Amino acid sequence: MASPRKVIKLVHAGLTMMRYGVPIPPPGVEAPLSFNILKMLSAPLWWRPWKQHRGIAPALTRLGPSYVKLGQFLATRDDLVGAEMARELTKLQDRQPPFAMKKAIAVVEKELGAPIDELFVEFGEPVAAASIAQVHKARVRDDRGEREVAVKVLRPGIDRRFKNDLGTFYEAAHLAERLDPATKRLRPVAIVDTLASSVAMEMDLRLEAAAISEMAENIAGDKGFRVPAIDWTRTSQKVLTTEWIDGIPLHDVEAVKAAGHDSKVLGTRLVQSFLRHAMRDGFFHADMHQGNLFIDRAGDIVAIDFGIMGRLGPQEQIYLAEILNGFITRDYLRSAQMHIDAGYVPDHHSAAGFAQALRAVGEPIQGRTADEISMGGLLGQLFHYTELFDMKTRPELLMLQKTMVVVEGVARSLNPQLNMWTTAEPVVSDWMRETLGVAGKLREFRDETGKLGQIATGMPEMLLKLGRTVEVLGKATKNGVRLDEETLEKMVLFRHDSGRSGRWALWTGALSLLAIAVALLFPLLTTILNN
């Protein structure tokens, strides 16, 4: 049951959004009569004839940082909020007023355990402020000399505020499922789970540093794309210090060209780098907008702000490659079968039937110019069709699609004639050859052989443990089956809060496992005891 405080916060959020002209509930959702009566009675509280600053983006900005972050997540879910609202949410900017310099210094000194003058030669005013943290430009001096760094500092009290607001978001998600059971397929609670997980990662800047470090290892052999170096000695839970990137932001295309960089090459490199990160590494920057991408003096693309990262498991990596390859080669039946084999589409649907849906997505793009085709939009249309085939929404794939849309937009700002499919084809083909071809199968065989070797190496120890087990069971059959009292007590206390039924289950399970072990080893025990 919801607490009164959560209900009040939810009502306040609803009234605020209605003041900004946001429809509550969303179009297509039928509210109960009691809700409509309450909405009508509360009209004097929220009605206001505003003609400017109307819409969901300004409303969420007014409600604060947690709601801004929620809006950014909902921008990826046009199936949940509708295409029009999703487009408006993409305009949502994660810009907030900076907090006081005095507070920032206090956080840094407390976290790093030293006065600010000992930590930095210079520590400047904030250069950027977002919903969770702000960034200061500073200068350090150590055995590597003097250099400029970027210092990211968490907002004081932001973790507590997000925790409180997440409770309200969960209440709203549960309410949506109760008002319209059809929304359960869209998994609104899972959306809040994803948001909560992402925010939890962002609240510990050591995890962001670890993400940078992991990506740096993944791309060590790549050319033309890099990440900032980390200053681990000046990094903690609430403070992250990295190399200062002195480059041209990618949103300034004219400056990029004026500096002598080939914008067409950069557009291609950006798309191919993202696809390699997603397919090859299963780990990608999930917030690659133009403000987080720079061109350094060497002409390399440098990504910053690793607070939001995406991961794909081996199955999702294969899924992405097969889907893109299916559209590139027009092999819709293979892509459809992959959906079914991977469990994304239940196997009571035919591959041929789902291939027909994929063809409806893929064929309209054939013969169209590159600037008319969006790879991210294509995936969005695909996910829409999957509703007909009972495919459940996968949050990690939605994050992938959202990031792909953003990367496409940045790449096309550099090269409006960029052909996404021609650009993607070599990366997809190389990955499939390396992973699913002969070389990949040989690697898989080598890995499996290694696992068998590990098992063989550990066999003597396993046999020794088996012998000890047989000896103990042999003594148990001679002296009568007896369970150690302390062991049973620990088993019961392990789940004492599960109630009497839970305790009986533990007792029954323990006795059953022992009975099964005795039964399986009985022939061997008999031989041992008779000798």
For the annotated catalytic residues, the residue numbers are: 287
Q: What is the DSSP string of 224-241?
A: SEE-PPB-GGG--SSEEE
Q: What is the 3-state secondary structure (H, E, C) of 467-526?
A: HHHHHHHHHHHHHCCCCCHHHHHHHHHHCHHHCHHHHHHHHHHHHHHHHHHHHHHHHHHH
Element (H, E) at 249: strand 248-249
Amino acid at 506: L
- Give the list of residues 6+ apart from residue 143 with CB closer than 8 angstroms, or none: none
Task: Report the alpha-carbon distance of residue 432 to residue 428 in Å, rounded.
Answer: 6
- Structural tokens at position 370: 């590159």
- Contact (CB, 8 A) for 211 and 306: yes
- Structural tokens at position 284: 């990608």
Q: What is the 3-state secondary structure (H, E, C) of 303-314?
A: ECCCCCEEECCH
Of residues 440, 74, 76, 73, the one with CA closest to residue 279 = 440
Tell me whether residue 48 is exposed, middle or buried, using C-beta atoms within 10 angstroms of its C-beta: 0 to 12, 13 to 18, 19 or more.
exposed
Q: Any idea which residue has 């050591």 for tokens?
A: 206
- Contact (CB, 8 A) for 524 and 469: no
Q: Please, which residues bridge with residue 147 across strands? A: 140
- Structural tokens at position 171: 């209440």
| Cis, peptide link before residue 25, omega less than 30° from 0 | yes
Of residues 77, 23, 121, the one with CA closest to residue 399 = 77
Task: Report the alpha-carbon distance of residue 243 to residue 145 in Å, rounded.
Answer: 13
- Contact (CB, 8 A) for 176 and 22: no
DSSP class of residue 15 equals H
How many residues are recorded in the chain?
A: 531
Task: Report the alpha-carbon distance of residue 76 to residue 98 in Å, rounded.
Answer: 27
- Structural tokens at position 74: 């909902």
Task: Report the alpha-carbon distance of residue 67 to residue 73 in Å, rounded.
Answer: 10
Q: How many CB atoms lie within 10 A of CB 86?
A: 19
Start-to-end CA distance of the chain, whole Å, equals 66
DSSP class of residue 280 equals I
Task: Report the alpha-carbon distance of residue 210 to residue 215 in Å, rounded.
Answer: 9
- Structural tokens at position 52: 């400017």
